[in-house]
Amino acid sequence: MIQLTEVTKDYTDGTQSVTVLKPTTLTLNPHEFVAITGPSGSGKSTLLTIIGALQKPTSGTLLIDGQDIYQMNEKQRAQLRFKDIGFVLQGSNLVPYLTIQEHYTLKLKQANAADRTRIETIMMSLGIEKIRNKYPDKISGGERQRATIGLALLLNPKIILADEPTASLDTQKANEVASLLQKISRDFKTSVVMVTHDQRLLHYCDRVLEMDDGRLHE
């Protein structure tokens, strides 16, 4: 379980302090798919980076399985980001000169993980086994996002954070990706948080939250 309590974030703009995230309390349960919507500049991405242990809040706490991750040192947080948090961004961020199989093998090697059957399980579940030996520029945008989602899921993270994962996709592919994120939350019991402007995708989610001027609303 992931628990944010009274989390805030301030930035300094010249001599002024600007609060971009006002006191935010949120609980994310295992196998829950949550969407966060709202206008640009409302604080969505700031909230996502704090949940992802990428930047420290000004105040408040973030617990993952009871551990306050901002009481950890940076080495511990980096390890947590690598193993327990999966990231899916607008662009696939795949390395162009590695095949999909090589991406997965390299990540397992970096994690010192010996269970290679995990690759087969993920690829079969996401329907990407046929593109395993292809390079990112030789597959479609939807396939690239599926491969990216699988890579994020490979180490069995506690949470996947998806920042506008369907922004560059047509309607059919966008629905496929949203459906896949829903499947992941249910089948792999992984919390999924998706920031999106696409109202057509919200019916896939268990909860929809809205950010407005730094405040999170149910």
Domain boundaries, the chain: 2-217
Output the pLDDT for position 114: 67
Output the pLDDT for position 92: 66
Q: Are 37 and 196 in contact (CB under 8 A)?
A: yes
Q: Among candidates 69, 49, 52, which has minimal Cα distance to 60?
A: 69
Output the pLDDT for position 118: 87
- 139 pLDDT band, cuts 50/70/90, is very high
Output the pLDDT for position 113: 77
Q: Is the predicted pLDDT of residue 1 greater than 90, yes or no?
A: no
Q: Is the predicted pLDDT of residue 186 greater than 80, yes or no?
A: yes
Look at the pTM and tell me if it is higher than 0.85: yes
Q: What is the pLDDT of residues 89-120, one digit of tens each?
A: 876 678 999 999 999 999 999 888 767 788 99
The domain 2-217 is placed in CATH, from the list 3.40.50.150, 2.70.98.60, 3.40.50.300, 3.40.50.450, at: 3.40.50.300
Q: What is the pLDDT of residues 46-80, one digit of tens each?
A: 999 999 999 999 999 999 888 899 899 999 999 99
